[in-house]
Amino acid sequence: MNRLRQGMIACWLAAAFTGCGRAETITWSDSPEPPADRVSDHNGFFRGDPGAIRRITEKIRQLETSHGFRIYIVAEPVLMSDTAQNLAAQLQHQWLPQGNGLVVVYEGDSRSLGLGRNITSPSEAPILPSHESDALVRNAMAATDPALPKEKFLETLADNLVREFSGWFERRDAPPKRARSLRTALILVGMIALLSLTAIAVGALTRLKSMSPEPVLFFPKVERPERLGAPCGGHVVGRSFGKTPEE
């Protein structure tokens, strides 16, 4: 009986250790399927806060349901054979070949972050341009405090990413405000009226210039000394009649 009990205990310990070893080992080169809950945590990154996965999943799925944009989160305590950025690019190509999504890889040991690019084929128009996606990611990262604990940092980053992308889609889909449309229309009407008045003024000036008479020219005034009452000079001729004038 004691030997049987010892054998059972030994088998149970061996199975437990073997199972744990399999749970903590994953080869990303095997092209695993994307996680159904959009968060991959094979090695227990969120072991200290299991509810974080559920909270992140709810927000990511809400973004996907509302706007068709997927975000995958891969959390790894340590990456042995690759970097976070290379793995993010690899998984982006495998999980989102049609684009319109984002893969985030976070390595807790080095606190390094990798982000996949929103890649689309040339024949397909992306729902979100790459430059807009890059700007939204920068805004989300700037709003995330890097001094937070690792689990809290990744959850906060996921929240900020969902907020930034949701806000962009909501602004894109929102109809223009009535006040903005009225203001734009008034500006256009004012510009047209200003151009019309300018054309009328130019035409009036042109007509006035063509209707003006020939210019009248005047000789300039010249200062000359007066000679014997002749303001402009001349010759004076004297005549005597009858007698010699008295001296």
**What residue spans define the domains of the chain?**
28-173
CB-based contact 71:95 (threshold 8 Å): no
**Separation of alpha carbons 81 and 88, rounded Å:** 13
Q: In which band, very low, low, confident or very high, does the pLDDT at 129 lie, cut at 50, 70 and 90?
A: confident
Return the pLDDT at 1. 44
Average pLDDT value for the chain: 77
Q: Tell me which of 78 and 4 has the higher pLDDT.
A: 78
Nearest Cα to Cα of residue 66 among 173, 138, 141, 176: 173
Q: What is the mean pLDDT of residues 97-103?
A: 85
Q: What is the mean pLDDT of residues 84-107?
A: 89
**Separation of alpha carbons 187 and 127, rounded Å:** 31
What does each C-alpha distance from 162 to 8, 59, 78, 149, 204 come to in angstroms? 50, 7, 25, 20, 61
**Separation of alpha carbons 42 and 46, rounded Å:** 10
CB-based contact 40:91 (threshold 8 Å): no
**Separation of alpha carbons 103 and 229, rounded Å:** 111
- CA Rg value for the chain: 46
Residue 220 has pLDDT above 60, yes or no: yes
Determine which of 33-47, 74-88, 181-195, 205-219 has the lowest per-residue pLDDT on average. Answer: 205-219
Q: What is the mean pLDDT of residues 204-208?
A: 71
Return the pLDDT at 225. 61
Q: pLDDT digits over 9-56, tens only?
A: 344 333 333 333 333 444 555 557 899 999 999 888 998 888 999 999
Q: In which band, very low, low, confident or very high, does the pLDDT at 72 lie, cut at 50, 70 and 90?
A: very high
Return the pLDDT at 21. 36
Q: What is the mean pLDDT of residues 123-143?
A: 82
The architecture CATH gives domain 28-173:
Roll (3.10)
Return the pLDDT at 25. 42
Return the pLDDT at 214. 67
Tokens of 209: 């210039």
Question: Which single residue is written with the structure tokens 């996907």?
Answer: 64
Nearest Cα to Cα of residue 39 among 24, 25, 52: 52
DSSP one-letter code for 105:
E
